[in-house]
């Protein structure tokens, strides 16, 4: 059932679900009183700097670190050869590949870690890097999958036994025969070849570590910029051979992550090894350039999509082939079974049963990554492909793109919907969302204005993107990362005075968990949000979980929170029956208290009950009011929405400007509408960046051209359009509170709307594609090309 808003069941004072409670974490962030890894300074702490390869592909002939070692203030210089002695020169990646910690044989991308200096202060460490002499023999460089897959291409991963080419994986989904038949029946086949460029999450805070291994006790305390502290602890135990119970990962405040803080980076392993050997804490904080050139990038998918369509405008089938540029090591953080993440959700919001998706990955001489940058494992690329294809299909058939979508959307009564490539969409109402967006821009009238404007030589265009996301991995039967099942957990303790503490396995990077998860507890137990503390990011003090990425916190940890709160409420009912000397069945609950049916005066508050749990519990009952729940979701949740963008293109320069951007989002029940709007605004800004200005490029020698923020652009308030936010509410049927994730939808769904709008504006020229980012010179070139034909 879709509604436009969700009515809170709790009062404003309690502040449960549906209230725009002010973010409790913001006081310390705004006052500059946050505590980040960079703020951690321990007695006797040493500092690490990393020497990185200037070349994208080269043999290492020799490394001479004598001068650096002799430099005053330098404590140690570490090379790959040193790490080999500890079996730590290579480490496993989250995709089951191997990655060099410090290069021993070859360097495989510009920025790769070659040696590390440990010194008394960070400046000495940095200075000493220039004293290390590395003799390289240059090798041919591969910067795209086409070169990588070409006959006779140099094998980048010659370290891997049996690897004779640059193929990383081959993976397929869907039904080839059924799809071939659909294409044979098609009246029209629409084709689109496009590249979703490489981008970088570029969080405000770069990655860092303070590794502190106590030589006396063997206790390893690792302060880490980590979106997944528990998984990282397990991986440290496996990689470094440290006993897991002696590893404590502390992920303090994070200044953004967006997927960038999911992988384990070589620097973390080197710092731990250095602290272990030297016996002192070792700190490493990346520079901006190091972050951009060597840590987890995103996207870089070369896609070809085909839609088989009937002359009446029905989609009959889809083919998608995709080759992904994985860089030198396959280090995507994604479910083990799914080599191309959830790219096979590329059938989008449309009802057809014939689809075949073929995916390949290629090694290149670029940084590894492929992280879920505000994206649930490659859905951004999938969503972009289908929304661009659908737009082109409508034009090819001379149909209105909005009407074409409405005709092909999955209908509300078809949910749960089994998609052609194996997803079970839990709920949706795509027609209502798109209609709401169209109404907001007065679509019909706009088309008339557009026709008039064209007569005057003005090129205005409207673009639509209707996306479906799949967020909240598990379920564990299908989803694991390096074998760790994708569950999550919540531990809730109500103290005698009725104040509570909630501990979670996920980790906020700024999304407001301290506020919203307290709201879930407030909703379930009626304890005011101000009386609930939320703790995350310390593996010694929180229950196990797989972490925060792919908008999984709300669907998984949020569900765990609701379930454990409900369990405590059941125990509270027993305590209330004892206190009121009534039968449990005679009690009614309203947020914050139990009362006897028909006698509302006979009541006890949750605070009274909490006190009784420690002071006056019935005989035979275990004392206390606390518990932990591990939640294994039965399915993903499927947020959706429709975005409509209006642009005007100047054909003389190719410059395009956004006149309006309307966003209709549906993330199910909104826990905190203000935070949801904030998430969407941030996501839309990143979607606009992808469409208009942001990409990572490399020259033919593999030099990264975007190693700083003058060259890798982050939109400011100056260029970001004003977003008009609307919503519908279609609760997830299986989630305990009906919530779906929202952290990434806007980044996933919105880029296609901008590109579709520019393409729409250029219809008079017959332009059918411009790759992202839609830079003015590309628009201008497309117009010139069209005019010369
Ligand atoms: O996993 P991550 O926290 O990045 O993403 P999320 O689960 O989509 O949540 C992002 C923020 O939005 C959190 O503070 C959520 O609690 C909040 N949210 C909400 O208030 N209502 C929803 N239906 C979904 C998320």
Q: For a pocket test of ligand 1, which of 471, 536, 741, 744 has the largest count of ligand atoms closer than 8 A to its C-beta? A: 741
| Span between the terminal Cα atoms of the chain, in Å | 51
Nearest Cα residue to 612 out of 654, 567, 581, 643 = 581
pLDDT at 2: 62
Q: Which atom of ligand 1 is nearest to the CA of 745?
A: 8
In eight-state DSSP terms, residue 553 is I
Q: Which residues lie closer than 8 Å to 162 by C-beta, 6 or more apart?
A: none
More confident residue, 787 or 407: 407
- Token pair in block for residue 709: 């923020």
DSSP state of 701: T
Residue 618 and residue 621: Cα distance in Å, rounded? 6
Distance 739 CA to ligand 1 centre (A): 9
Question: How far does residue 458's CA lie from ligand 1's centre (Å)?
Answer: 41
Looking at residue 604, its pLDDT comes to 98
Q: Whole-angstrom Cα distance, residue 303 to residue 195? A: 6
What confidence score (pLDDT) does residue 333 get?
Answer: 82
Q: Which atom of ligand 1 is nearest to the CA of 553?
A: 1
> Whose Cα sits closest to atom 2 in ligand 1?
551
User: What is the residue with the minimal CA distance to atom 7 of ligand 1?
Assistant: 554
In this structure, the residues whose C-beta lies within 6 A of any atom of ligand 1 are 511-513, 516, 548, 551-554, 667-672, 675-676, 679, 739-743
What span, in angstroms and rounded, lies between the C-alpha atoms of 575 and 620? 12
Distance between Cα 293 and ligand 1 center (Å): 29
Relative to the CA of 554, which ligand 1 atom is closest? 7
H-type helices in 599-743, by residue range? 606-615, 673-692
Residue 259 alpha carbon to ligand 1 centre in Å: 15
Q: For ligand 1, atom 3, name the residue with the nearest CA.
A: 553
CA of 329 from ligand 1 middle (Å) equals: 31
Q: Which of 260, 514, 536, 675 to mutate to test the pocket of ligand 1 (most atoms within 8 A of CB)?
A: 675
> For atom 17 of ligand 1, which residue has the closest CA?
676
pLDDT at 5: 65
CA of 203 to the centre of ligand 1 (A): 18
CA distance 424 to 416: 6
For 587-607, the pLDDT digits (tens) are: 999 999 999 999 999 999 999
Catalytic residues: 227, 374-375, 744
Tell me the pLDDT band of 731, cut-offs 50, 70 and 90: very high
Mean pLDDT of 737-755: 97
More confident residue, 656 or 786: 656
Q: CA separation (Å) from 431 to 350, 381, 434, 440, 549?
A: 11, 23, 5, 14, 29
Q: Are 657 and 648 in contact (CB under 8 A)?
A: yes
Q: pLDDT band at 615, cuts 50/70/90? A: very high
| Span from the CA of 669 to the centroid of ligand 1 (angstroms) | 11
Alpha helices in 243-346, H assignment, sequence order: 266-278, 288-294
Atom of ligand 1 nearest to the CA of 508: 3
Determine if residue 764 is left, alpha or beta; phi over 0 gives left, psi from -120 to 50 gives alpha, anything else beta. alpha
Ligand 1 atom having least distance to the Cα of 550:
1
Q: Which of 511, 673, 677, 682 to mutate to test the pocket of ligand 1 (most atoms within 8 A of CB)?
A: 511
Output the residue whose Cα is nearest ligand 1's atom 11: 511
Question: Could you identify the atom of ligand 1 that is nearest to the CA of residue 512?
Answer: 14
Tell me the average pLDDT across 659-688: 98
For all residues of the chain together, what is the average pLDDT?
A: 97
Q: Write out pLDDT tens, residues 132-147.
A: 999 999 999 999 999 9
| Gap from CA of 23 to ligand 1 centroid (Å) | 13
The confidence band for 189, taking pLDDT boundaries of 50, 70 and 90, is very high
* pLDDT per residue as tens digits for the range 405-451: 999 999 999 999 999 999 999 999 999 999 999 999 999 999 999 99
Does pLDDT of 241 surpass 90?
Answer: no
Provide the pLDDT for residue 3.
66
Q: At what angle do helices 229-240 and 266-278 cross, to 10 degrees?
A: 60
Has residue 611 got a pLDDT over 70?
A: yes
Question: Are the C-beta atoms of residues 545 and 505 closer than 8 Å to each other?
Answer: yes
Place of tokens 């396959």: 330
pLDDT in tens, 323-347: 999 999 999 888 999 999 999 999 9
Indicate which atom in ligand 1 lies nearest the CA of residue 673.
Answer: 20
Token reading at 244: 């897991």
Residues 519 and 6 sit within 8 Å (Cβ to Cβ): no
**Tokens encoding 553:** 């916190």
pLDDT for 65: 98
**Could you tell me which residues come within 8 angstroms of residue 666 by beta carbon, excluding any fewer than 6 positions away?**
2, 428, 429, 433, 639, 640, 641, 727, 728, 729, 730, 740
The tokens describing 37, both together, are 């890894």
Q: Whose CA is nearest to atom 19 of ligand 1?
A: 671
Rounded to an integer, the average pLDDT of 528-549 is: 97
d(CA 397, CA 415): 28
User: What is the average pLDDT across 759-766?
Assistant: 96
CA of 183 to the centre of ligand 1 (A): 40
1 pLDDT band, cuts 50/70/90, is low
Mutational test site, ligand 1, from 671, 683, 738, max ligand atoms within 8 Å of CB:
671
The string of pLDDT tens digits covering residues 118-130 is 999 999 999 999 9
Ramachandran category for residue 59: left, alpha or beta (phi over 0 → left; psi -120 to 50 → alpha): beta
């Amino acid at each position: 059932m879709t509604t436009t808003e969700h009515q809170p069941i709790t009062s404003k004072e309690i502040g449960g679900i549906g209230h725009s409670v002010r973010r409790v974490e913001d006081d310390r962030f705004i006052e500059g009183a946050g505590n980040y890894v960079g703020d951690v300074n321990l007695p006797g702490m040493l500092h690490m700097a990393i020497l990185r390869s200037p070349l994208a592909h080269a043999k290492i002939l020799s490394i001479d670190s004598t001068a650096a070692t002799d430099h005053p203030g330098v404590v140690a210089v570490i090379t790959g050869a040193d790490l080999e002695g500890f079996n730590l020169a290579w480490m496993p990646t989250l995709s089951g590949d191997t990655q060099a910690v410090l290069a021993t044989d070859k360097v495989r991308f510009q920025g790769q870690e070659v040696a590390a200096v440990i010194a008394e202060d960070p400046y000495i460490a940095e200075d000493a890097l220039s004293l290390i002499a590395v003799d390289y023999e240059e090798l041919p460089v591969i910067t795209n999958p086409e070169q990588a897959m070409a006959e006779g291409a140099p094998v980048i991963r010659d370290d891997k036994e049996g690897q004779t080419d640059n193929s990383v994986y081959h993976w397929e989904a869907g039904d080839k025969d059924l799809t071939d038949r659909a294409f044979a029946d098609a009246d029209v086949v629409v084709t689109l070849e496009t590249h979703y460029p490489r981008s970088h999450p570029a969080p405000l805070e770069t990655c860092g570590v303070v590794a502190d291994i106590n030589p006396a006790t063997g206790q390893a305390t690792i302060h880490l910029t980590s979106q997944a502290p528990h998984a990282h602890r397990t991986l440290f135990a496996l990689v470094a051979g440290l006993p897991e119970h002696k590893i404590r990962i502390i992920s303090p405040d994070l200044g953004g992550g967006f997927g960038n803080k999911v992988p384990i980076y070589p620097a973390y392993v080197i710092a731990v090894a250095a602290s272990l050997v030297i016996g002192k804490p070792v700190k490493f904080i990346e520079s901006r350039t190091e972050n951009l050139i060597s840590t987890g990038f995103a996207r870089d998918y070369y896609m070809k999509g085909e839609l088989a369509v009937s002359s009446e405008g029905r989609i009959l089938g889809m083919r998608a082939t995709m080759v992904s540029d994985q860089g030198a090591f396959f280090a995507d953080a994604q479910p083990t079974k799914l080599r191309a993440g959830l790219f096979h959700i590329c059938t989008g919001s449309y009802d057809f049963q014939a689809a075949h998706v073929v995916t390949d990955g290629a090694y290149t001489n670029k940084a590894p990554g492929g992280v879920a940058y505000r994206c649930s494992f490659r859905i951004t690329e999938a969503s972009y492909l289908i929304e661009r294809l659908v737009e082109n299909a409508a034009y090819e058939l001379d149909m209105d793109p909005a009407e074409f979508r409405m005709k092909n959307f999955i209908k509300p009564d078809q949910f749960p919907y089994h998609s052609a490539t194996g997803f079970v969409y839990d709920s949706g109402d795509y027609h209502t969302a798109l209609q709401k967006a169209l109404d907001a821009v007065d679509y019909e009238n706009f088309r008339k204005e557009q026709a008039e404007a064209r007569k005057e030589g003005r090129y205005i265009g409207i673009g639509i993107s209707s996306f479906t996301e799949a967020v909240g991995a598990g379920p564990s039967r299908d989803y694991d990362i390096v074998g760790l099942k994708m569950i999550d957990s919540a531990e809730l303790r109500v103290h005698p005075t009725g104040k509570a503490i909630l501990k979670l396995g996920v980790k906020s990077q700024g999304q407001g968990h301290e506020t919203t998860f307290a709201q879930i507890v407030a909703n379930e137990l009626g304890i005011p949000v101000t009386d609930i503390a939320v703790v995350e990011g310390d593996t010694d003090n929180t229950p196990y979980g797989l972490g925060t990425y792919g908008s999984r916190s709300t669907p998984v940890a949020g569900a765990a929170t609701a379930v454990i709160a409900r369990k405590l409420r059941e125990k509270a009912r027993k305590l209330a029956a004892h206190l009121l000397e009534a039968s449990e069945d005679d009690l009614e609950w309203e947020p914050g208290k139990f009362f006897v049916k028909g006698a509302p005066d006979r009541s006890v508050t949750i605070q009274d009950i909490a006190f009784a749990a420690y002071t006056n519990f019935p005989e035979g009952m275990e004392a206390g009011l606390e518990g932990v729940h591990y939640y294994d979701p039965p399915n993903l949740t499927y947020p959706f929405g429709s975005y409509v963008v209006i642009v005007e293109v100047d054909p003389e320069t190719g410059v395009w400007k956004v006149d309006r951007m309307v966003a209709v989002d549906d993330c199910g029940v909104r826990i905190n509408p203000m935070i949801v709007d904030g998430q969407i605004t941030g996501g839309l800004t990143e979607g606009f960046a992808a469409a208009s200005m942001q990409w990572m490029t490399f020259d033919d020698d593999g030099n990264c051209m975007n190693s700083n923020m003058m060259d890798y652009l982050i939109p400011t308030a100056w260029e970001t359009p004003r977003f008009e936010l609307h919503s519908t509410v279609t609760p997830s049927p299986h989630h305990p509170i009906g919530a779906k994730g929202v952290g990434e939808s806007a980044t996933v769904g919105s880029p296609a709307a901008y590109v579709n709008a520019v393409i729409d504006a250029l219809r008079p020229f017959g332009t059918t594609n411009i790759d992202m980012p839609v830079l003015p010179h590309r628009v201008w070139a497309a117009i010139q090309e069209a005019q010369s034909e």
